[in-house]
């Protein structure tokens, strides 16, 4: 081929550049082919060869909407995957896999986790009646303090006296809530409940597989085991 840069570059340099560019293009095409082949082999279930072509995981928990937060709990048999426990639970092989499982399970079973948190809080406060009464009092006091309205006007349109009264009311309610909370150990009980809930959610969310089988008592090993137990009792 003719050298368009003959005034500044020699023909030998241009030829080397063309050969090097062709070699780079061949290597790029070969690498893409190896990635496609690896993705095809990895799609069978062993997970190998998918890292190069797999799209990055899109975490859903960080984008929960109000409708997601109000979702009712899923059936508890599906939540615990109790029909096929051995096929539904496994230790994660990496921190990335654990985070993906936790993200997917929290997004899907948020209503169930919220119910678990409620019952954990009730069980903790049941053993601490003073904290239960103090927590309910703090909740009602704060709702009462925030229930006042100043003619429905926006805060920026309130007079200086109205803003001062609103700030004073909020300050007094905050001080009383903190005082009652410290006296009744509400914060300590709430911390216990939060800690226990966090442990339960983390353990279940990280160990429950995302491809856990759907509930099916007819094919469940638990049904076979229970039937064998009944036969042994009859014998």
Count how many domains the chain has. 2
How far is CA 127 from its chain centroid? 30
Are residues 190 and 163 both part of a single domain? yes
Calculate the alpha carbon distances from 105 to 35, 72, 89 in Å. 30, 14, 12
Are residues 95 and 123 both part of a single domain? yes
Are residues 227 and 136 both part of a single domain? yes
Are residues 219 and 139 both part of a single domain? yes
Residue 40 pLDDT class (50, 70, 90 cuts): low
Are residues 16 and 106 both part of a single domain? no
Burial class (CB in 10 A: 0-12, 13-18, 19+), 107: middle
Q: Are 207 and 89 in contact (CB under 8 A)?
A: yes
Query: Structure pTM?
Result: 0.56
- Rounded CA-CA distance 165/171 in Å is 10
Are residues 188 and 78 both part of a single domain? yes
Are residues 45 and 66 both part of a single domain? no
The residue among 204, 234, 228 whose CA lies nearest residue 81 is: 204
Residue 149 pLDDT class (50, 70, 90 cuts): low
Lookup result for tokens 């095809």: 40
Q: Which domain holds residue 92?
A: 60-234
Are residues 41 and 139 both part of a single domain? no
Are residues 182 and 215 both part of a single domain? yes
Are residues 3 and 49 both part of a single domain? yes
Q: Would you state the structure tokens that stand for residue 21, as one six-digit string?
A: 């560019």
The residue among 70, 60, 66, 79 whose CA lies nearest residue 111 is: 70
Are residues 64 and 42 both part of a single domain? no
Are residues 29 and 89 both part of a single domain? no
State percent of the chain over pLDDT 90.
Answer: 17
Model confidence pLDDT, tens digit, residues 3-24 = 554 555 566 766 777 677 777 7
């Amino acid at each position: 081929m003719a050298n368009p840069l003959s005034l500044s570059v020699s023909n030998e340099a241009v030829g080397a550049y063309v050969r090097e560019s062709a070699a780079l293009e061949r290597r790029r095409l070969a690498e893409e082919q190896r990635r496609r082949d690896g993705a095809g082999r990895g799609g069978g279930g062993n997970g190998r060869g998918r890292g190069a072509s797999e799209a990055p995981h899109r975490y859903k928990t960080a984008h929960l909407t109000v409708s997601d937060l109000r979702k009712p709990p899923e059936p508890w048999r599906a939540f615990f995957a109790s029909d096929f426990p051995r096929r539904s639970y496994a230790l994660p092989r990496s921190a990335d896999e654990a985070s993906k499982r936790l993200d997917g399970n929290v997004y899907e079973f948020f209503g169930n986790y919220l119910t678990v948190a409620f019952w954990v809080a009730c069980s903790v406060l049941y053993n601490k009646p003073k904290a239960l009464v103090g927590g309910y009092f703090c909740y009602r006091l704060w709702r009462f303090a925030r229930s006042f309205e100043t003619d429905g006007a926006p805060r920026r349109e309130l007079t200086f006296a109205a803003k001062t009264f609103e700030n004073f009311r909020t300050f007094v309610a905050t001080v009383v809530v903190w005082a009652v909370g410290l006296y009744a150990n509400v914060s300590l009980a709430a911390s216990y409940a939060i800690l226990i809930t966090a442990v339960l959610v983390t353990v279940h969310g990280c160990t429950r597989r995302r491809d856990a089988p759907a509930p099916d008592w007819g094919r469940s090993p638990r049904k076979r085991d229970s039937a064998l137990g009944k036969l042994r009792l009859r014998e």
